[in-house]
Amino acid sequence: FNTKTKKFEALDKAFSNSSLADVGEDESGTLWALSEIAPARVYRLKGTQEKTYYVINSTDTNTPRNMAVAADGTVYVAVGAQLYKMEAGKSVFKQIESSDIFFVHLGAGGDLWILNQSSEVQQYTGSKFENRPKGTAQKAQDLGVGADGSVYVLDHSTSLLKKWNASNGRFDDVNITQAMHAVTVTIEGRPWIVNTSGDITSG
């Protein structure tokens, strides 16, 4: 998206595999992508040089879910119900969580958020994933996390946008009454949303 022209523009480079589940970019401008089908593969496109990394191995049949890319190039990938991490500058993924992961998202300072297999929102405490809010978790159909720490969800039952409020430990309603299909968040904390008609708008 070109913020000056307010239009989406085609990139002058592309991945060799067009069947992708997710894409991301680190602070160096390197592009990363996750394969849509098993075995889960992560592609790194640096300039015109593409490299492929198997998340588990070349014969694994678990479904790739999504990935999150940190500014330094650390990559997290949700595969099946498991979470894997490849440190910046490394070439091997290591499993860091073994159950109940569906989607993974990354915020400020490596702050990990997930949707689990029950569509519950959880945040990593350093030793475990904990419900957000604490106790009974918010259920969501999608989750978006910005590098500034902003966290948005689409409510599981209403498809309406909500924002995490760390002060009261709750997800607050956002003044948008239209049902949404998907949400993502820029590094500045601005939500971009896809409505149920497929239209893309920014919050």
Taking only the tens place, the pLDDT of each residue in 33-86 is 999 999 999 999 999 999 999 999 999 999 999 999 999 999 999 999 999 999
Residues 89, 92, 98, 99, Cα dihedral to 10°: 80
Residue 201: pLDDT band by 50, 70, 90 thresholds?
confident
Report which DSSP code applies to 137: P
Q: What is the pLDDT of residue 175?
A: 84
Tell me, which fold does domain 10-98 have in CATH? Answer: Thrombin, subunit H (2.40.10)
> CATH homologous superfamily for 100-203?
TolB, C-terminal domain (2.120.10.30)
pLDDT category, 8, cuts 50, 70, 90? confident
Residue 53, judged by CB atoms within 10 A of its CB (0-12, 13-18, 19+), counts as middle
Question: How many angstroms separate the CA atoms of 200 and 7, rounded?
Answer: 11
Q: In the chain, where are the structural domains located?
A: 10-98, 100-203
Angle (CA) 102 91 73, round 5°: 65
Check if 10-98 and 100-203 are the same fold: no
pLDDT band, residue 99 (cuts 50/70/90): confident
pTM summary value: 0.90
When pLDDT is averaged across residues 103-125 and rounded to a whole number, the result is 94
The CA–CA distances, whole Å, from 110 to 43, 65, 74, 167, 192 equal: 21, 19, 9, 20, 21
Contact 44, 32 (CB under 8 A): yes
